[in-house]
Amino acid sequence: MNGTTQELPERLLKTELSQYGRRRATDGAYADNLDLDVLVVGAGFSGIYLLYELRKQGYNVKIFDAGLSFGGTWSVHSLSHLLPIMRHS
């Protein structure tokens, strides 16, 4: 308006997966040097089943999920919106 230009903040393109997440802790299960046989990523139905089966076989296994609870997509989504369609078929 008065002839001066305002600089816009620099926008960074995220190119690494680590730029999207934040670390909850750096000790315990979140330590950098975990002594594991298997790390399961995803605590949905398949991830939990894999954890169960591998522990039964004696492996040292941990499971990580982006969410704060177990269940994967089933913990945040519901199929209840399909019930009216299913009843009429």
Q: How far apart are the first and last CA of the chain?
A: 64
To the nearest 10°, the Cα dihedral for 11, 12, 13, 16? -160
pLDDT digits (tens, 9 = 90+) for 24-76: 778 876 777 778 999 999 888 899 999 999 999 999 999 988 777 777 666 66
User: 49-87 in b/e burial notation, b at 16+ Cβ within 10 A?
Assistant: eebeebeeeeeebebebeeeeeebeeeeeeeeeeeeeee
pLDDT digits (tens, 9 = 90+) for 6-18: 666 667 777 776 7
